[in-house]
A = this chain, B = another copy of it.
Amino acid sequence: MPGDSHLTEHMLSREELLRGRFLHVVRDTVRLPDGASATREFVLHPGAVAVVPLTDDGRIVLERQYRHATGQVMIEIPAGKLDAGESALVCGQRELLEETGYAAREWAYAFTTYPTVAYSNEAIQVWFARGLTAGPQRLDPGEFLEVFTATPEDFLAWCRDGTIVDAKTLASALWIQNVLAGAWKLDWQASSSEP
C-alpha cells in the first residue's frame, strides 16, 4: 500500500538454513524502515488449499488425523499442499478426492489465510464444495485419517468448546456460520474438470 514506507522491510539477501525432507527454511536479511538491518527466518512453503465440503443434507465433511507436532488427533477440514504448477481448484478437487473419496459438482472460492505470518510464507486458499458424490479414499502410503460428517450446530459448538483447535478450520468456521445463515454469499461454479 502506498504510504506504508514507515512499516515496510526490504530484502537485502537470503541464506539457506535447512533443506529437510519436508521443510525448507531460509534466513533473509532485511532493511528495516529506520535503515537498520535485521534477519527474518521462515519456512518457504508452496501454499495449500483447504475445502469445506457440504453434503446435500446440510452436514460438513471433516477429518480426524493425528498431528505429531501437536501430539493429538485433530479435527480438520480436508486440505493439502499445492503441487508445482497446480491451480488451487484442481488441488482442492484432488485433495478432497484423495483424503475423503468425495467428488463435488460445485465449487466456490471463499478466502485466503496465512496461518503463520511470523515464520512461514504459506498461504491457504479455502474453497467450499457441494453436490458431493461419495467414493473410496485414496490415501498416500503412511497417511492415516478418518472421515466423518457433522451438523453445522455440532461443528460450531466444537469451535467454541475447544474440541476444534486447528486454525484453518476455525477460520473457516466464520465463513460456515455466515454462509449457512445466508449473510455471506458464495459465487458457485460448476466443476468443469475431473482432477
Contact = CB atoms under 8 A, between A and B. Distances in A.
Interface in A125-154: 142, 144-146
A180 interface: no
Give the most central of A22, A23, A177: most B CB within 10 Å: A23
Interface in A22-48: 22-23, 25, 27-28, 30, 32-34, 36, 38-43
Contacts of A9: 66, 68
A161 to B, nearest CB: 9
A82 B125 CA distance: 29
Main secondary structure of the interface of A (DSSP, over half): mixed
Given A28-B68, A66-B8, A167-B116, A36 B142 contact: yes
B167 A69 contact: no
Interface stretch (A87-95, A99-107, A168-176): A168-176
Interface stretch (A13-21, A53-61, A187-195): A13-21
B168 A69 contact: no
Given A21-B27, A22-B39, 15 more contacts: A7-B64, A8-B73, A23-B25, A30-B68, A43-B119, A74-B114, A111-B165, A115-B167, A116-B167, A117-B166, A123-B165, A124-B167, A167-B168, A167-B171, A171-B171
22 contacts: A4-B66, A7-B64, A8-B73, A9-B66, A17-B20, A18-B25, A20-B27, A23-B119, A32-B144, A33-B144, A36-B142, A42-B69, A76-B117, A112-B162, A113-B165, A114-B165, A115-B116, A115-B167, A116-B116, A124-B167, A170-B170, A170-B171
Interface of A: 1, 4, 6-9, 11, 17-18, 20-23, 25, 27-28, 30, 32-34, 36, 38-43, 64-71, 73-74, 76, 111-124, 142, 144-146, 159-160, 162, 165-168, 170-171, 173-174, 177-178, 184
